[in-house]
A and B are shown apart, each in its own frame.
Chain A
Amino acid sequence: MSTLEIKDLHVEVETEAGPKQILKGVDLVIASGEVHAIMGPNGSGKSTMAYSVAGHPKYTITQGSVKLDGVELTQLSVDQRAKAGLFLAMQYPIEVPGVSVANFLRTAKTALSGEAPKVRTWVKEVNEAMSRLGLDETFSSRSLNEGFSGGEKKRNEIVQLELLKPKFAILDETDSGLDIDALRIVSEGVNRYMAEGGHGTLLITHYTRILNYIKPDFVHVFVDGRIVTEGGPELAENLEVEGYDRFVKMAAAA
């Protein structure tokens, strides 16, 4: 049983006009076995939360804490956070020319587990994971994300999720830009990851569409750098009907 605990998180980003506060005190607790959906309008700070928790250098945490099983992540380097059990599936996965997917996966697995995976079983495992996500074997010899379509990049993120088996996964708009088939395939990957047990997922999305495939246990609505309301899956259904407007006005009035 693991816990990811975000407490009073305040985050700034450097802009030309000086530092700008994006997160204004976020509290969130995720236990393994749970899927939390974070929904909210553009610019509300959802991605900022994802990237600052993962340790992106662009964001400065000015207050608050993020603990994974009691370990303070904000004191750790990016790779140490991953080693502690955190995974971020990015909205725009980065291209790394000349580094093959196979080499990248092996290097990451080795770094995370502290020893090189056994060649024979590992190659099989990689090929199976890719095939489940609808990527053929040629992808493993291609440069990481280079020349991949948007959908292929997202599938590749979920291949990594399945192979690296983090304690907690933050999925930053993994559903954006996916067609219906890809959405289903990617969702099935996330569901397999959850079904293995001991894992928790924080699903960031604009749309309720992906929630038809990945059932959230909790839904949080994010507006202007804070969680303004939370509830069960029924909250997502309300949002589908009512939109974010009510919450945006509420936050503005507060």
Chain B
Amino acid sequence: MRYLKNVSTLTIDRKKCTGCGMCAVVCPHRVIKIAERKAWIIEPDLCMECGACAVNCRENAVSVKNGTGCAYGMIKAKLKGSSEECECDCC
């Protein structure tokens, strides 16, 4: 299953990347592959911006605006003017 195209905020700074491969390991959608000792985004449209890759990059080479992607939570945050995070009871 695929979601909307060209929306993922995932980027990798290949100057900082040492090719340790941790980002590729933790990605639950196999978005990243290691080749020539660097990380490459091979399936950007499969990215759900969970942030596992960025959290586990010790070089801070990976960046992504992460979140849970919960419409309910976003609407609630908009209405209450609070920070955009999932605060509903749905998970």
- Do A and B actually bind? no
B interface residue numbers (CB < 8 A to A): none
A interface residue numbers (CB < 8 A to B): none
